[in-house]
């Protein structure tokens, strides 16, 4: 039986907990959670059929194989200083702490600690997270099993640690930007008297189809746009509005501002 501990089930931690509790075989994996408040741990324990512990000290008396760090980076010192693992070589720390490097995690543990730094996103809720990772680990078998666990709630991408900030912008924060984009579709459909269940469906199909065509086609995006636009047609008038208002530049600035804080 492999033991998983999730410290901090905020929005992201809960999304991962939801997916793992639903998809992992409980004959092979045991999930435990720890939160700042006991009432939240009890609530989520009942909701997701997992175990809970009451305080950080309890970690030191159990051999957890996979420990997810899902609390705020500002709380790292107070949390990690209280963890004294019994078996470093057979434990892997899976850190979701934003802007917190592997080298910073290592300071709190012995030299042979295994660390997997990840950046998932909220699509873990529906097993569709795009999760980046980098690592420093000696126990390769444990590392590979940890990566398999990450793939339970989405797809994984090995990147350089220096790329984490830009990955946050492109995937971690991006769902919020995409939701804002979709809001405009939904509001315009509402203004034109479409039933929501119908408009939701054709908006979804349009966005999914366009995304697949854009990313799986050898033709450049500029060429694809030209094929849709008819001179003096309705698409040209709409597309010109995006160009005149610097739509692409606004998005790039959005990514850059996100990266600066990641």
Class of domain 2-160: alpha beta
In the structure encoding, which two tokens stand for residue 82, read together? 């209280």
pTM of the model: 0.87
172 is in an annotated binding site: no
pLDDT tens digits, 157-174: 999 999 999 999 999 899
Q: What average pLDDT does the segment 115-120 reach?
A: 98
Distance CA 225, CA 234 (A): 13
- Percentage of the chain modeled with pLDDT above 70: 100
7 is in an annotated binding site: yes
Beta strand pairing call for 129-136 and 114-119: antiparallel
Q: Is the pLDDT of residue 8 over 80?
A: yes
- Band (pLDDT 50/70/90 cuts) for residue 137 is very high
Kindly report the number of other CB atoms within 10 A of residue 92's CB atom.
25
Q: What average pLDDT does the segment 212-223 reach?
A: 95
Backbone angles phi, psi at 188, to 5 degrees: -70, -40
Lowest average pLDDT, out of 77-91, 182-196, 199-213, goes to: 77-91
1 is in an annotated binding site: no
Q: Where are the domains of the chain?
A: 2-160, 174-261
Answer whether 2-160 and 174-261 agree in fold.
Answer: no
CATH number given to 174-261: 1.10.3730.10
Look up residue 230 and give its DSSP letter: P
11 is in an annotated binding site: yes
91 is in an annotated binding site: no
8 is in an annotated binding site: yes
**Could you please report the per-residue DSSP string of 118-165?**
EE--GGGGGT-EEEEEEEE-S-HHHHHHHHHHHGGGEEEEE--GGGHH
Asked whether 91 and 85 are in contact (CB, 8 A), the reply is yes
């Amino acid at each position: 039986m492999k033991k998983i501990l999730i410290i901090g089930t905020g929005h992201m931690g809960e999304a991962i907990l939801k997916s793992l509790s639903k998809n992992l075989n409980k004959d092979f994996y045991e999930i435990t959670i720890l939160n700042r408040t006991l009432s939240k741990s009890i609530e989520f324990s009942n909701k997701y059929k997992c175990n809970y512990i009451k305080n950080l000290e309890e970690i030191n008396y159990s051999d957890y194989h996979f420990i997810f760090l899902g609390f705020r980076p500002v709380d790292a010192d107070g949390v990690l200083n209280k963890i004294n693992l019994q078996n470093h070589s057979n434990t892997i720390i899976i850190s979701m702490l934003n802007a917190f490097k592997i080298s910073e995690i290592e300071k709190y543990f012995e030299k042979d600690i295994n660390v997997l730094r990840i950046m998932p996103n909220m699509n873990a809720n529906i097993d569709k997270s795009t999760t980046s990772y980098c690592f420093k680990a000696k126990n390769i078998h444990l590392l590979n099993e940890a990566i398999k666990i990450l793939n339970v709630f989405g797809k994984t991408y090995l990147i350089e640690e220096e790329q984490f900030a830009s990955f946050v912008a492109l995937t971690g924060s991006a769902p919020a930007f995409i939701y804002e984009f979709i809001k405009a579709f939904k509001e315009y459909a509402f203004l034109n008297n479409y039933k929501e269940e119908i408009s939701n469906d054709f908006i979804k199909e349009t966005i999914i189809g366009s995304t697949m065509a854009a990313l799986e086609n050898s033709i450049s995006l500029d060429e694809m746009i030209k094929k849709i636009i008819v001179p003096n047609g309705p698409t040209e008038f709409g597309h010109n509005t995006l160009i005149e208002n610097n739509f692409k530049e606004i998005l790039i600035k959005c990514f850059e501002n996100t990266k600066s804080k990641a």
